[in-house]
Amino acid sequence: MTVEERSGLPSARRIVVKVGSSSISGDRTAQIEPLVDALAAARARGTEVVLVSSGAIATGLPFLDLSARPTDLATQQAAAAVGQNVLMNRYQRSLTRHGLVAGQILLTAGDLDDPSSRVNALRALDRLLALGILPIVNENDTVATHEIRFGDNDRLASLVSVLLGADALVLLSDVDAIYTKPPTEPGATRITAVAQGGSLAHVQFGGAGSAGVGTGGAGTKASAAMIASEAGSGVLITATELVGDALGGADVGTWFEPAPRPAGRASMFTAPGSAAE
């Protein structure tokens, strides 16, 4: 089914949730606990949940005695190799409180461009969900290059949503919604909804996340939302601390209305023997 309005999120069959580096690293590491609580509550309602989580590089920085995100690719890869392990451990410790188990999926842009790799990714995700596992997807930063990076995983999350035929995509941020201009500027007003085919040409987008560890921003999230909504998934952009309210159907964030999805087609991608067929 397609979730037409944000109020329908509690009854969604399958949801993809994306969280950024700045929301779960550094002094905001504690936000992992309420995030996991919200995901567990959605699962308890019968919703299949896939988490797309940035944060490997940011999490690895202090273990390498680095105070800022490195600019060279090799050090970014090293930080990701250390940080991904720590990040998954933190998620699993929190998920254990709910009797849940995480499954790690690492992807590059090339994996979703290549038909064979795409089929394998879909099959693995479908099977993990069928087994009651919470898949946690991240970009494979240890092998990704500058030319094939997704950009703070916003686009990755939208492509995973399309791949899975998800009913909805929730993009979490430092900011509670998209505003007509950066919310710190006078006169900025919240955009509550974007109609299918609507334009955001009038919006003045700001830069990347406030913590300086991510690479995305409101503009990348809006672009990702357009990709997923045009493929038939409703999209909500809101703040990480509001994830429980968001998944509960509250009037928060900016909602992107989904395009009609052709009958009998769960996803634009299909895998032999998968639930998307």
Mark the binding-site residues for substrate, compressed into ranges.
Answer: 54, 141, 153
How many Å apart are CA 53 and CA 128, to the nearest integer? 17
Q: Residue type for 36, please?
A: V
Q: Is 188 helix (H, G, I), strand (E, B) or coil?
A: coil
Which has the closest alpha carbon to 229: 249, 256, 253, 203? 256
The helix/strand/coil state of 242 is helix
If you write DSSP's letter for every residue of 24-61 in order, what string do you get? HSGGGGGGHHHHHHHHHHHHHTT-EEEEEE--HHHHHG
Taken in order 121, 71, 214, 196, the sign of the CA dihedral is negative
83-104: buried (b, 16+ CB within 10 Å) or exposed (e) per residue? bbebbbebbbebbeeeebebbb
The DSSP bridge partners found for residue 179 are 190
CA distance 43 to 132: 9
CA 110 to chain centre: 18
Residues contributing to the annotated binding site: 18, 54, 141, 153, 173-174
How far is residue 138's CA from residue 108's CA, in Å, rounded to a whole number?
9
Residue 54 near residue 76, CB atoms below 8 Å: no
Cα–Cα dist 229/266, whole Å: 13
Which segments are annotated as binding site for ATP?
A: 18, 173-174
